[in-house]
Structure 1
Amino acid sequence: MKKAYSRISRGIALLIVVIFLWGSVGCSNPEGTDEAFRVGIVPAQNKGNMQKAMDKLEKVLSDHLGRAVEITVYADYQGVVEAMKYKKLEMAYFGPLTYVQVQEKTGARAIVTQLIDGKPYYHSYIIVPKDSPYRSIDDLVKHSRDIRFAFGDINSTSGSLIPGIELKKRGVFTDRENHRFKGVTYTGSHDITALVIQNKKYDAGAIDSAIYNQLVEDGKVDGDKIRVIWKSEKLFQYPWAVSEIVDDETVKKLQKAFLSVKDPEILGVFGASGFTTAKDSDYESIRQAAREAGRLE
C-alpha cells in the first residue's frame, strides 16, 4: 500500500513539474511561438485604408523577430493607452504626451522614432486663414474674445498640450471651460484642424508642423489659404514604445527592423523619411510640460 501511495505521489509531482515547465515555455514567448507580437497604432491623421502598409510592416517586423506580428490600428489615443495598460500590446506608436503618460503608469520605454526630412523633430504650429487680420500670437491674445480656437485631440502634444501651455502663460486659456476665447473646440485630428481653418470655420488652430506640411504637399489642404503665425520650440518625434516585459534582445531586433524600412508605402503612412532609435530621456521636455499642465498623475 505504501509503495502504491509512493508511486502515486511521484506521479503527481512529475505532473506538476511538467505543467510548470509547459507554462514557463508558454509564457517566455520564444521565437517560433504561435503567439503574435502585438502592436498598436493611432494614425496621426485620417489616412483612410492603412491595411496594405500595415501588412508590409507586419512582415518586416515578423522577419526580424522570427515570429508572427499583429498590428491593430486604434481609433484614438485612449484605446492604445488602455491596451498597453492592460498588457494587450507588446509595443505601441504614441504621441509624445501619450507616451510619457503611459510610461509613468506602465514602465513602457521608447525605442524608435520617425525621421521627417531626416530629422527626429517637429513643432507645434498655430495657424489662421491666409486673409486673417491676426498675424501673431500677440494678436490672438489681444483679440481673444473675438476668436474661435481649434485644438486637435485633447491628448495630442502639438495639437493641445504645447499650444495650451503657451496660451495659458499668456492668460487666455486654462481648459475647455475656462478661457477668454469666443469659443474652443477639439477637432480630434490634425487634418480636421487644418480643414476647419482653411474653410474659416474657426479663426485659429493648433497643429503638428510635420503633418501640416505633409497635408499641403499631398494637396489635402491648400497652403495658399493658411498662414502659420506661431511655432513652438523643437519637439521630439512620435515614439514607438515597448512594454516593460519586452526583453533587450527583442528591442534590438525591433530597432534593426525599423531602421531597415525603406518602403515608401510604409514610410508614407507616418509621413516619415525613415526611422531612428529613441530613448526615454528624449521626451523629458514633454514630461516636464505635461507635469506643468497637470497632465501627469
Structure 2
Amino acid sequence: MAVFIIALATAGCGSAKDQGEPFKVGVVPAQNKGDMQHAMDRLEKVLSHKLHRPVEIQVYSDYQGVVEAMKYKKMDMAFFGPLTFVQAAEKMDLKAVVTQLIHGSPYYHSYIIVPKDSPIRSIDDLAKNSTQLHFAFGDINSTSGSLIPGIALTKKGVFKNPNDHRFKKITYTGSHDITALAIQHHKYDAGAIDSAIYEQLVKDGKVDGKKIRVIWKSEKLFQYPWAVRSDVDEATVKKLQEAFLSVKDPAILEVFGASGFTKAANRDYESIRKAAKAAGRLEMK
C-alpha cells in the first residue's frame, strides 16, 4: 500500500540497556498526511503497551528518508511498500515479519482507473490512444502506483521510463488519493493506484466510485511488509508480531484499508523482487 512507512528506531532494540528508550516511529502516508495522526496516536499506545516502553510516531515526507534512516541504523523496523522493501533489502539485511490483511487476505492489486465517462475501456484501448492521453502514476517508488503498471504498459509498447514513452504526458502524483481525486475530476485521462487504498477511499466517501472506472487489474501482490533489521532479536520480533496481530481498533485498521494483520516473510516478496530486477529498479549490494 506508493504508501505508509512506519519505522521503529534505536539500534539493538532488544537489549536491556535500551528498555527505557522510546521506539521512534516514522510514517510516510499513502494518503493525506493529516488523516494519519489520530490513528498513529492510538497505534503508539498499542505498541508501547506490548513492548513495555514508550513509542514515538512521526510522519515523514518520503520513502527515501526512512530507507536512509534504516541504512544508518537510526530505525529498527519499517513499514515499506513492497518495491521499496526489495530495493532496501538489496542494500541492507532486512526481515519481513508482518503484513496487513484486506478482507482477510494478504493480497492486493494494482488498478488502472479512468473517469467513468471515458471512452477508454481497457489497457489495449489505453495503449492504442496513448499519444492523446495524460497518464498519472503515483509515487515513483510505489509498487502498485508505478512498478507493476509500468511493466504492464511496457509490454504494450507505450512505456519504458518517465523520459521514454508514447503518452501525451506523464505525471507522478506522489499519492494514491491525489491520483484518485484527479481522475475523478478529469485532471488526467488515466492513472495507476493501489486497489486496497482506492476501495478504502471510496468506502470513506473521499472519492466518488460512481465517477471512476477500473479498466485494468494486475495479478495478486503480497501486501506491504513490516520489516526489521537482521540484528533485532527474536524476542522483540515476537512482541511486535503479537502487538500487530492483536490490533482490532477500526481507527488504526482503516488508515491501512486493513481488516487485520498477519505474519510475513521475505519469500512472500520474491515476485516483486523479480519484477523490480526485470524493470531495472534494483540497485545491487
Please give the TM-score of this superposition, normalised by the length of structure 1: 0.88
SS of equivalent to 1:200: coil
Residue 269 (structure 1) shift: 1.8
Instruction: Give the alignment of 1:1-297 within 5 angstroms.
Output: 29-30=15-16, 33-297=19-283
Task: Provide structure 1 residue ranges, at least 5 long, that are not aligned to the other structure.
Answer: 1-25
Q: Which has the larger radius of gyration?
A: 1
Residue 52 (structure 1) shift: 2.8
Q: Does the 8 Å CA contact 1:38/1:91 hold for their aligned counterparts?
A: no
Q: Deviations over 1:193-223 (max 9, x none)?
A: 0111111111110000011111111111111
Q: Which has the higher strand share?
A: 2
CA distance in 2, matches of 1:51, 1:182: 38
Distance 1:184 1:192, change over 3 A: same
Q: Does the 8 Å CA contact 1:42/1:94 hold for their aligned counterparts?
A: no
The residue type equivalent to 2:126 in the other structure is L
CA distance in 2, matches of 1:30, 1:153: 39
Residue 128 (structure 1) shift: 0.5
SS of equivalent to 2:219: coil
CA distance in 2, matches of 1:27, 1:181: 48
Residue 249 (structure 1) shift: 1.1
Q: Does the 8 Å CA contact 1:126/1:229 hold for their aligned counterparts?
A: yes
Q: Which has the higher helix share?
A: 1
Residue 28 (structure 1) shift: 6.3
SS of equivalent to 1:50: helix
Q: Does the 8 Å CA contact 1:32/1:66 hold for their aligned counterparts?
A: no
Task: Provide structure 2 residue ranges, at least 5 long, that are not aligned to the other structure.
Answer: 1-11
Residue 135 (structure 1) shift: 0.2
Residue 252 (structure 1) shift: 0.6
Alpha-carbon RMSD across the aligned residues, in angstroms, is 1.5
Q: Deviations over 1:70-106 (max 9, x none)?
A: 2222111111111111111111111110011111111
Distance 1:143 1:236, change over 3 A: same
Q: Does the 8 Å CA contact 1:32/1:67 hold for their aligned counterparts?
A: no
The percent of aligned pairs where both chains have the same amino acid is: 74
Distance 1:55 1:211, change over 3 A: same
Please give the TM-score of this superposition, normalised by the length of structure 2: 0.92
CA distance in 1, matches of 2:109, 2:25: 26
CA distance in 1, matches of 2:62, 2:188: 23
Q: Does the 8 Å CA contact 1:41/1:94 hold for their aligned counterparts?
A: no
Distance 1:216 1:27, change over 3 A: closer
CA distance in 2, matches of 1:121, 1:234: 6
Q: Does the 8 Å CA contact 1:124/1:206 hold for their aligned counterparts?
A: yes
Q: Does the 8 Å CA contact 1:56/1:266 hold for their aligned counterparts?
A: yes
CA distance in 1, matches of 2:246, 2:17: 20
Q: Does the 8 Å CA contact 2:200/2:254 hold for their aligned counterparts?
A: no
CA distance in 1, matches of 2:269, 2:229: 17
Q: Does the 8 Å CA contact 1:116/1:271 hold for their aligned counterparts?
A: yes
